[in-house]
Amino acid sequence: MIEARNLTKRYGDFTAIQDLTFQVQPGEVVGFLGVNGAGKTTTLRILSCYMPASSGQATVAGFDVFKDSLRVREQIGYLPESVPLYPELRVQEYLAFRARLKAVPRAKRQSELARVMDACKIADRARQTIGTLSRGYRQRVGLADALLGPPKLLILDEPTSGLDPLQRMEVRALMQELKREHTVFLSTHILGEVESTCTRVIILHRGKLVPEAEVARLRGACQYEARVAGPMGRVLEALRRLNAVASAEPIPPEASTEPPEPAEHTHIRIVPKAGLDKDPRDELVALMAGKAGEGWRLLELRRRIPTLEEVFAQATAEEGGKEGAQA
C-alpha cells in the first residue's frame, strides 16, 4: 500500500527527514512513532502529496506520489493534526461539500454521507453547526471527511491530539472499528494508542528511521522480576554471579497507597545473558533453595516483556548518539 525509498526532505541547510525506506502492506495498521519534531508530519505530507520530497521515491497503492498525485489522492483519506473545518456549516452540509470535491457520484452521495456519519457516530449531529461541536466531535467530523470515497488508505496525523481522556477513548474505539476495512498509517507520540490499535510500529528519531530489526530486538528482549526475602547486598551479589545472568538490579519502590513491604524484601530486575540457552530462573530457584537455611526465600518470580514505552525510550536513546539529521 505504501512503499517509500530513500525519502529525504531539506529546508535549506536543515534536514527534516533523511533516507526513509519502509513499506506498509494492505490491511496493516502501522504506528508511525516519534517525539514532537521527529519528522512524522513531514513524511505524511509527502505521502499525501501535500508537499514534494527533496529526493527519494514513494508510491501509494502503486501510484507515484510525485508523478500521479491526483491518483494517489483518490486512494487516501487524510486526517491532519489540526482539522480544517468550516465552523459556520452544519455537519451534513460540510460533508456533502467535501463529497462533491472528492467527486463522489451524485447517485451515491447520500448513502456515502450516511455511511461515514454512522461509522463515526455523528449521525445525530448532522444538523448541528460545526462551530458548536466539542473538540472530540470535530475530530469525528474530520475523520468522517477522511472516510469519504471510500479510501483504501487512511493517514491519521495525531488523531487524538488535544483531546481529553474520555474523548481519546472514544476516538481509539472508533479506530478499532476502522481498521477492519482500511489500511491505516497512524502517526502519534501517544504510545497507548499504538498498543491498543496497531499491528506494527515504525520509529522515527531525528529524521531517521530506527531499523525495524532493532525495534524487533528490543520488543523481543525479556527480563525477569523477582521478590526475595534476604539481605539485599548478599542476594544481589549472588545473583550477579549466576552464569545465565547479565545484570541484577534492585527496583525502587513505586509510590503506592498500600502498606510498604518489609525491609528485608527486595524487588529485583534480572536481565539474562544474550545467546545462552540457559534459563536464569532455573539457577535462581536453585540458588534460593540452597540458601533456605540462611533465611532466603523466593516470594515471587515472573517473566516481563518490555512495554512499548520502554522500547521507544531505548530505541531513541540508542539512536540519539548516532550521527543524523536534526528534526
- Is 63 contained in some domain? yes
Which one has a higher pLDDT value, 162 or 70?
70
Q: Is the pLDDT of residue 127 over 90?
A: yes
Contact 186, 197 (CB under 8 A): yes
Which one has a higher pLDDT value, 113 or 232?
113
Q: What residue numbers bound the domain in which 118 lies? A: 2-209
Torsion 20-21-24-30 (CA) sign: negative
- Is 43 contained in some domain? yes
Contact 307, 218 (CB under 8 A): no
- Is 216 contained in some domain? no
Q: Is the pLDDT of residue 261 over 60?
A: no
Which one has a higher pLDDT value, 204 or 316?
204
| Distance (Å, whole) CA 59 – CA 51 | 14
The pLDDT assigned to 67 comes to: 92
Question: Is residue 232 domain-shared with residue 291, that is, in the same domain?
Answer: yes
Which one has a higher pLDDT value, 307 or 103?
103
Q: What is the mean pLDDT of residues 129-147?
A: 91
Q: What is the mean pLDDT of residues 197-226?
A: 82
Question: Is residue 158 domain-shared with residue 232, that is, in the same domain?
Answer: no
Question: Is residue 44 domain-shared with residue 187, that is, in the same domain?
Answer: yes
| Distance (Å, whole) CA 212 – CA 322 | 16
- Is 314 contained in some domain? no
C-alpha cell, 132: 458548536
Q: What is the pLDDT confidence band of residue 305, given thresholds at 50, 70 and 90?
A: confident
Contact 272, 244 (CB under 8 A): yes
Domain count, the chain: 2
The pLDDT assigned to 257 comes to: 40
Indicate the range of 103-107, 131-135, 173-177, 280-284 predicted with least confidence: 173-177
Domain boundary residue among 167, 182, 209? Answer: 209
Question: Is residue 226 domain-shared with residue 146, that is, in the same domain?
Answer: no
Q: Where residue 168 sits, what CATH number does that domain have?
A: 3.40.50.300
Question: Is residue 124 domain-shared with residue 40, that is, in the same domain?
Answer: yes
The pLDDT assigned to 260 comes to: 54
The pLDDT assigned to 181 comes to: 82
DSSP-H helix ranges across the chain: 40-47, 69-75, 91-101, 106-119, 135-147, 165-178, 191-197, 212-220, 232-240, 280-290, 308-320
Domain boundary residue among 209, 243, 278? Answer: 209
| Distance (Å, whole) CA 38 – CA 11 | 15
Starting from the edge strand earliest in sequence, which strands make up the sheet with 55-60, in order?
A: 14-24, 2-11, 55-60, 63-64
Question: Is residue 284 domain-shared with residue 192, that is, in the same domain?
Answer: no
Which one has a higher pLDDT value, 81 or 122?
122
Name the 3-class secondary structure at 192: helix
The pLDDT assigned to 34 comes to: 85
Q: What is the mean pLDDT of residues 61-79?
A: 93
- Is 17 contained in some domain? yes
Question: Is residue 84 domain-shared with residue 227, that is, in the same domain?
Answer: no
| Distance (Å, whole) CA 71 – CA 128 | 33
Q: What is the mean pLDDT of residues 89-115?
A: 95
Tell me the average pLDDT of the chain.
Answer: 85
Question: Is residue 193 domain-shared with residue 262, that is, in the same domain?
Answer: no
> Could you write out the DSSP letters of every residue in 215-282?
HHHHHH--EEEEEEES-HHHHHHHHHTSTTEEEEEEPPPPP-SSPPPPTTEEEEEEEEPTT----HHH
Question: Is residue 199 domain-shared with residue 243, that is, in the same domain?
Answer: no
Question: Is residue 55 domain-shared with residue 183, that is, in the same domain?
Answer: yes
pLDDT digits (tens, 9 = 90+) for 167-204: 778 777 777 777 788 899 988 877 877 877 788 889 89
Question: Is residue 195 domain-shared with residue 268, that is, in the same domain?
Answer: no
Paired with 153 in beta bridges are 76, 183
Question: Is residue 175 domain-shared with residue 95, that is, in the same domain?
Answer: yes
C-alpha cell, 200: 506494527
Q: Where residue 241 sits, what CATH number does that domain have?
A: 3.30.70
Domain boundary residue among 159, 186, 209? Answer: 209
Q: Is the pLDDT of residue 83 over 70?
A: yes
- Is 89 contained in some domain? yes
- Is 326 contained in some domain? no
Q: What is the mean pLDDT of residues 81-93?
A: 92
Query: What are the residues whose beta carbons fall under 8 Å from the beta carbon of 16, sequence distance 6 or more?
Result: 9, 10, 39, 42, 207, 325, 327
The pLDDT assigned to 19 comes to: 95
Contact 36, 42 (CB under 8 A): no
The pLDDT assigned to 320 comes to: 45
Name the 3-class secondary structure at 185: strand
pLDDT digits (tens, 9 = 90+) for 7-43: 999 999 999 999 999 999 998 889 998 888 889 989 9
Q: What is the pLDDT confidence band of residue 326, given thresholds at 50, 70 and 90?
A: very low
The pLDDT assigned to 324 comes to: 40
- Is 227 contained in some domain? yes
